[in-house]
Structures are given as structure tokens and as C-alpha cells.
Amino acid sequence: MSAQIPGKRRTTRDIALMRQQGEAIAMLTAYDAVTAALVEMAGVDMILVGDSLGNVVLGYDTTLPVTLDDMIRHAAAVKRGSGRALIVCDMPFGSVTDPDATLRNAMRILKETGVEAVKLEGGLAMAPTVERLTAHGIAVMAHIGLTPQAVHQMGGYYMHGKDDASAARLREEAKALEAAGAFAIVLECVEPALAAEITRSLSIPTIGIGSGKDCAGQVLVVNDLIGLNTSKPPAFARPRADVAAIIRQAVGDYVAETKAARQPITLPRRAE
């Protein structure tokens, strides 16, 4: 049975209770009011307004061009479409430069969108920032492993925690972020055995993406889940539908019907 009272918006305490009771946490991204309403109707516990909107909505190759204004606009739309899920908004590249700037930007996100929490990428270097935000009453979800905002510094997209040094660093980062006050930690593309170990070592929930089945919860980009893409999704994402094919078929039928129902119009010849 869910730890949440029906009809009441989930809180970080509800998410913590789910972890304590061993109830898996289901999280998906959303970038607009309609999608937020639909995924919530289907029962997700948390919605992430991810800076992945840069890839799947705005057409960028990476998340780096996404601005704070972009995130605020989309997070506010998601909040308007949602009534039950706990909503987390990504802090985009360039908005987490130092604790003071991050605090100001996080406050702006909460004030202008109404979301319940922010998410920021990074390990040990982010622990003081997480502590600063939580000291000011801001709920923070951390994110380690593959951090897309650091894709160029990391040298691409790949699994993390394969060697002893990388695994040790991830263990240390997870512990430091928990101690700093994060209410949950995303583990992206972390070796599954290591992700399971980190999950067991923490009292706060881990939210996996491409990190195996033993995290306390799971998050996916909704477009990858429903097949709303023009390119292949990541290897770890198994589409449950092919919404892109449905759209292509519906639009193709509309185009064909529109053209078949109307005869070509012959315009009068212009006088020479």
C-alpha cells in the first residue's frame, strides 16, 4: 500500500517513508501541463522537469544550452498540470556556479514555479552547496555518476564505477551528499552492482537511470518510455509504446484526406 494519502500531494517525507517501507519509487520526466497530468494519472510518485528538455523538446544536442528561464517556464507548466506528484526541477548548466548563486537561482525556481524540490548534478564539490540550500529550507535531489552537464569534461556518455577508483569516488560522493542533506540521489549509468551497494549503504532513496533494478526508485525520460522520438532511445530504456508512429500515421491520414477532399483550384489567368 502506498505511503501517500490519496489526493494529497506527495512530500519529501512521503518519499522517505516509501524508502523505509521498501516501496519502489516511480519517477518520470515531464515538460508540459498535459504530459504532467497524464503521467500523474498513471500513478507516478515524482515528476522530474529535467534539463533533458534541451534534447527532447528544444532540439539541442546536449543539455548545456538550456537556460534557467527555460526551466522555470516548463516547470511552471508542469506544476499547473499536476496535483499529486512531488515535482523536482533541474538546475541547468551555469546556474550552480557557487553556493550563493545557486541559492538565489534555486529560490527563484521555487518562487516562480511552485515546485517542491530542485535537482543539481555533481559529487563532492556539490556537497557544500547542497548543505547551503537545505539550510535555507530547499529540498535537494542530488545526481552522480553520469552527469550530462559535464559531458564534455567527462569525455562522453558511458557507465561509471567500473574501476576501483571510480567506484570508491561514487561511494564517497553518495555519503557526502546524504550528509549534506539531499533527500534523494539520482544514480545515472552507475554499474548495477555498485548502485545496489550504494543504495544499501544510504538511508535516503537512490533513483536509478541506467543503473540496474536495485535502486530504491527509477526515473526515465518520458519520451524514451513512450517512443516519442525521432532517434533511438538509450540502450537501458525499453519503450512501452510507439507514439511517434501513431503521430506519423494520424498526420499522414489527415494530409491524404485533406488533399483528396479538395480539387485543385485553377486561378484565373492574368491579363497580359
Could you list the residues known to form a binding site, using ranges.
Answer: 51-52, 90, 119, 121
Rounded distance between C-alpha atoms, residue 89 and residue 270, angstroms: 59
Of 78, 20, 25, 62, give the one whose Cα is nearest residue 187: 25
Name the strand (E) or helix (H) holding 169: helix 164-180
Rounded distance between C-alpha atoms, residue 193 and residue 240, angstroms: 26
Name the strand (E) or helix (H) holding 212: none
Rounded distance between C-alpha atoms, residue 164 and residue 189, angstroms: 16
Cα dihedral: 121, 4, 198, 181 (round 10): 50
Active site positions, annotated: 188
Known binding-site positions for 3-methyl-2-oxobutanoate: 51-52, 90, 119
Integer distance in angstroms from the first to the last C-alpha of the chain?
A: 81
